[in-house]
Amino acid sequence: MLRAVQTASIIAAPHGLTPIRLEELTECGAAGWESPPDMQQRVNATFEDLLLRHVGHALLVVAHSDVNRIYLASLLGLPADQACQMQVDNCAISVIARVGERTTVSTLNAAFHLTGIAA
């Protein structure tokens, strides 16, 4: 969670914003290990709550790859057990859009902003 908070802080600083840490978006639930379907249910519920609380606004969510993978897999219609097969690179950007009650993925795993940066 520390890396996600640090990254969010770097992005938020020029905008005068302070990131909010959400325990619900950690890779492991409060009880420790959880099954992929349980993790997907927890992560999906958290994203749904965020989207409902911020209708009409842009949100930036910085999370670790397992959280990102499991949510994106759900939006793409993949079962939780197949989420680990999705390629989600560090620092890549995925964009989702909510129109009415429909949430879609408009950009997946974009890394254009990293061009020319040494690994």
Number of domains in the chain: 1
Does residue 30 form part of some domain?
yes
* Tens digit of pLDDT at every position of the chain (119 positions): 788 889 999 999 999 999 999 989 988 766 678 899 999 999 999 999 999 999 989 899 999 889 999 999 999 999 999 998 988 888 889 999 999 889 999 999 998 887 887 65
Residues sharing a CB contact under 8 Å with residue 92, sequence separation 6 or more, in sequence order: 109, 110, 111, 114
Quote the pLDDT of residue 27: 81
What are the CB-based long-range contacts (under 8 Å, 24+) for 1-10? 1/26, 1/64, 3/64, 4/62, 4/63, 4/64, 5/62, 7/62, 7/91, 8/60, 8/62
Does residue 99 form part of some domain?
no
Contact present, 76 and 24 (Cβ < 8 Å):
no
Does residue 118 form part of some domain?
no
Does residue 50 form part of some domain?
yes
Three-state SS string over 93-107 comes to: EEEEEEECCEEEEEE
- pTM, two decimal places: 0.86
Does residue 23 form part of some domain?
yes
Specify the CATH number for the domain of residue 75: 3.40.50.1240
**What b/e readout covers 91-104, taking b as 16+ CB neighbours within 10 angstroms?**
ebebebebeeeebe
Quote the pLDDT of residue 34: 87
Q: Which domain holds residue 54?
A: 2-88
Quote the pLDDT of residue 118: 61
